[in-house]
Chain A
Amino acid sequence: MKQGVVPDDLTRPFWEAANERRLVIQCCAACDRLQHPPGRRCHQCGSDEHIGWREVSGRATIYNYCVVHDTPVRVLQQDQPFNVAVVMLDEDPGIQMYSHLPGTPVDEVPVGAPVEVVFEATANGQFVPEWQVVEGAP
């Protein structure tokens, strides 16, 4: 099980949405542009006036992955080796999220395959977005 999460001011909307099984990504309304990880300001226009959160579909594609054999995180060491993939959102392939790809065998990661979001409980009950390969996808 992943370490627990203590939301901070910057990321609270993301974590609260995850507890409601929704995926939201920070967005600058002026630029109509998503950004992740979130920041105090828009990474493009530099303004903090139009920063908000936008719900996305929870559909993405596996971009890349490694197999972790030596993690520095103590609670994950018993699970080694494990996949750590990067997925890119369908809404904007420039936006990346990490995933352990639950259900995908170690080092058998189908790069380019579609995935969909699921929500997984962490050690303190906070939910976190995870990603699973869409069964039966071409």
Chain B
Amino acid sequence: MNAPRHPESFFRTEEGLGLWEHRGKVAAVGIGHSPTARRWDGRPETCVGALSLDALRRAMEDAGVDPANVDGLVMDPTTTTGAYWPRGRPAPEEVVNAFHATDNPLDGIAQLSSEWILGNMPELTDVGFAMYGDGCMARALCIAAQAVGDGLTHTCLVLKSWHNFEGRYYQGGSNAGSDLPGRSALSALWGAPVCYGTALQFAEYCRKYGKSHDMMAPFIENSRRNGLMFPEGYWAQHRPEEITPEDYQAARWIAKPANLFDNDLPIMMAAAYVLTTAERARDMRQEPVYILNHASSRTRPRSLTPTLDEVEEDTARSARKIYEGAGITAGDLSFENMYDGFALFHQFHLEGLGYRGVGFGEALDFYQTDISIHGPNPVLPSGGNIGCGRSRIWMHTDCMQQLQQRAGERQVTGVKPEVAVSGGPMPLGGNFLVWGATPD
């Protein structure tokens, strides 16, 4: 079975929808992370498909769920971090043959179908609902939450996986060629790297509010510190290196004002969750984390790249949707855990939420205060992509673990973990989840 792409009707994209009809009736009960790696080493047991099977099995084990009782799967068929399988190079046979293959030899290596997953997990005997949610874990979680609430599945696996190959990312393909097609030439001819749009918004932000790039240093330092306490993360597993303010300020520019540490590191990993109904959650191994709302933005910029005005309007609108459907206010947030991959847009998410009353133009000053996991105003306790590597997943796992009081060394101590929001990726557009330690 190959899953259909999700219909837009699954998402809560408008203001004025009121409380989410399934508020507190859907819960996350299991978390599974594969090990991380910088790049694929070519072995069957470390390909993105194998990492995905590992993450799914760990999530079911964590929840104490019998695979035969799983009846749903939501996943992203795209697994690239920006690295692509070289055109014309055949898939390695020993890898293809190590698994139950599909018609696509790169399935499980450079992409991932639901057919590949289900073909390689014979223990999943009862999956009748499967759907693709592309882009990132946040979108897949929104779909799964709505599907469980709507009764389309009662025990649903949610999967997001990432592959990374040799070579510098985005440097192949059309970027290495002599010509560009007319449509992409309208932006690609100027050679801006992927962080350029965010760097532009940050430059405008600094001009408008009188801030500077140096003011980001405490945020970066805090993110890596928290990430090194995330045992599932890349930096904790492979390179336990802190980033000091001096390291940050000495780093080379990528697209000034974005430097090396404002960009996340592409890695290989997979993560999976088990979502189920609040009723079934009571009998499972872990404390349930209740989903109080999901919200999405489908805003597009007017022209080539979002302006600061467009970003601020949309983060404020997203926050209103997030709070409205959950029946909460900014004052209910125990900590702040929004997306950060690029670091230079994290403040847009934080200011949009109005976390701890921080308004537009104020987040970089807020970063100069105590934003640690031990203070009253934790910022990004997960460490995010900067602290753990490129996955767009850490914030979700961290929200669950914090609310379950099992975040280990990362556990927030200055606040009671009760309500949290995670989501992204970009400040314009994006998908968001509201998590509660109790259903109301």
A binds B: yes
Task: Return the contact of A8 from the options B175, B181, B304 (Cβ within 8 A).
Answer: B181
**In the complex, are the beta carbons of A71 and B179 less than 8 A apart?**
no
Please tell me the size bucket of the interface on A: 35 or more
In the bound assembly, the distance between CA atoms of A86 and B192 in angstroms comes to: 11
Please tell me the size bucket of the interface on B: 35 or more
B256 part of interface (Cβ distance < 8 Å): yes
A11 and B182 contact, Cβ closer than 8 Å, known pairs A68-B193, A98-B304:
yes
Task: Return the contact of A36 from the options B199, B204, B303 (Cβ within 8 A).
Answer: B303
> Residues 5-44 of chain A: 1 if any B CB is under 8 Å from the residue's CB, otherwise 0?
1111011101100000000000000000001111000010
**In the complex, are the beta carbons of A8 and B183 less than 8 A apart?**
yes
A64 part of interface (Cβ distance < 8 Å): yes
Q: How far is the CB of A105 from chain B (nearest CB, A)?
A: 14
**In the complex, are the beta carbons of B190 and A72 less than 8 A apart?**
no
**In the complex, are the beta carbons of B253 and A81 less than 8 A apart?**
yes
**In the complex, are the beta carbons of B255 and A69 less than 8 A apart?**
yes
Considering the complex, which residues of chain B in the window 181-200 have a beta carbon less than 8 Å from any beta carbon of chain A? Answer: 181-183, 185-194, 196, 199-200
A100 part of interface (Cβ distance < 8 Å): yes
Q: How far is the CB of A129 from chain B (nearest CB, A)?
A: 10
A137 part of interface (Cβ distance < 8 Å): no
Which chain B residues lie closer than 8 Å to A10 at the CB level?
182-183
Which chain B residues lie closer than 8 Å to A128 at the CB level?
185, 189
**In the complex, are the beta carbons of A72 and B187 less than 8 A apart?**
no
In the bound assembly, the distance between CA atoms of A2 and B185 in angstroms comes to: 10
Considering the complex, which residues of chain A in the window 55-98 have a beta carbon less than 8 Å from any beta carbon of chain B? Answer: 63-76, 81-82, 84, 86, 94-98
Task: Return the contact of B182 from the options A5, A64, A68, A71 (Cβ within 8 A).
Answer: A5
B95 part of interface (Cβ distance < 8 Å): no
**In the complex, are the beta carbons of B178 and A73 less than 8 A apart?**
no
> Residues 99-124 of chain A: 1 if any B CB is under 8 Å from the residue's CB, otherwise 0?
11000000100010000000000111
A70 and B171 contact, Cβ closer than 8 Å, known pairs A98-B187, A123-B178:
no
> Residues 188-232 of chain B: 1 if any A CB is under 8 Å from the residue's CB, otherwise 0?
111111101001100110010000000000000000000000000
**In the complex, are the beta carbons of B192 and A98 less than 8 A apart?**
yes
Q: Which residue of chain B has its CB nearest to the CB of A95?
A: B303
B305 part of interface (Cβ distance < 8 Å): yes
A71 and B191 contact, Cβ closer than 8 Å, known pairs A5-B179, A107-B256, A123-B179:
yes
In the bound assembly, the distance between CA atoms of A15 and B189 in angstroms comes to: 13
B298 part of interface (Cβ distance < 8 Å): no
Which chain A residues lie closer than 8 Å to B118 at the CB level?
none
A66 and B305 contact, Cβ closer than 8 Å, known pairs A2-B189, A3-B179, A8-B182:
no
**In the complex, are the beta carbons of A86 and B305 less than 8 A apart?**
yes
In the bound assembly, the distance between CA atoms of A82 and B190 in angstroms comes to: 10
In the bound assembly, the distance between CA atoms of A96 and B197 in angstroms comes to: 13
Task: Return the contact of A73 from the options B186, B191, B303 (Cβ within 8 A).
Answer: B191
Tell me which of A43, A73, A75 has the highest count of chain B C-beta atoms within 10 A of its own C-beta: A73
In the bound assembly, the distance between CA atoms of A73 and B170 in angstroms comes to: 9
**In the complex, are the beta carbons of A66 and B200 less than 8 A apart?**
yes
Tell me which of A43, A96, A98 has the highest count of chain B C-beta atoms within 10 A of its own C-beta: A98
**In the complex, are the beta carbons of A98 and B190 less than 8 A apart?**
yes
Which chain B residues lie closer than 8 Å to A63 at the CB level?
307
Task: Return the contact of B258 from the options A66, A75, A99 (Cβ within 8 A).
Answer: A66
Q: Which residue of chain A has its CB nearest to the CB of B174?
A: A3
Which chain B residues lie closer than 8 Å to A8 at the CB level?
181-183
Task: Return the contact of B180 from the options A4, A70, A107 (Cβ within 8 A).
Answer: A4
In the bound assembly, the distance between CA atoms of A67 and B300 in angstroms comes to: 25
**In the complex, are the beta carbons of B196 and A84 less than 8 A apart?**
yes
In the bound assembly, the distance between CA atoms of A7 and B189 in angstroms comes to: 13
**In the complex, are the beta carbons of B189 and A3 less than 8 A apart?**
yes
A6 and B182 contact, Cβ closer than 8 Å, known pairs A73-B175, A86-B304:
yes
**In the complex, are the beta carbons of B186 and A37 less than 8 A apart?**
yes
Which chain B residues lie closer than 8 Å to A124 at the CB level?
178-179
Tell me which of A35, A65, A124 has the highest count of chain B C-beta atoms within 10 A of its own C-beta: A65
Tell me which of A6, A10, A70, A84 has the highest count of chain B C-beta atoms within 10 A of its own C-beta: A70
**In the complex, are the beta carbons of B252 and A69 less than 8 A apart?**
yes
Which chain A residues lie closer than 8 Å to B254 at the CB level?
68-70
B257 part of interface (Cβ distance < 8 Å): yes
Task: Return the contact of B193 from the options A11, A12, A72, A99 (Cβ within 8 A).
Answer: A72
A-B contact list, 15 entries, CB within 8 Å:
A5-B181, A10-B182, A36-B303, A43-B302, A65-B200, A70-B253, A70-B255, A71-B191, A74-B176, A75-B178, A82-B191, A84-B190, A94-B303, A95-B302, A98-B186
Which 4 A/B pairs are nearest by Cβ-Cβ distance? A11-B182, A71-B191, A73-B191, A76-B191
Interface residues of A, Cβ cutoff 8 Å to B: 2-8, 10-12, 14-15, 35-38, 43, 63-76, 81-82, 84, 86, 94-100, 107, 111, 122-124, 128
Q: A35-B303, A37-B183, A98-B187 are in contact. List 11 more A-B contacts (CB 8 A).
A: A3-B179, A5-B180, A8-B181, A64-B204, A66-B203, A72-B191, A73-B188, A84-B192, A84-B196, A95-B302, A124-B178
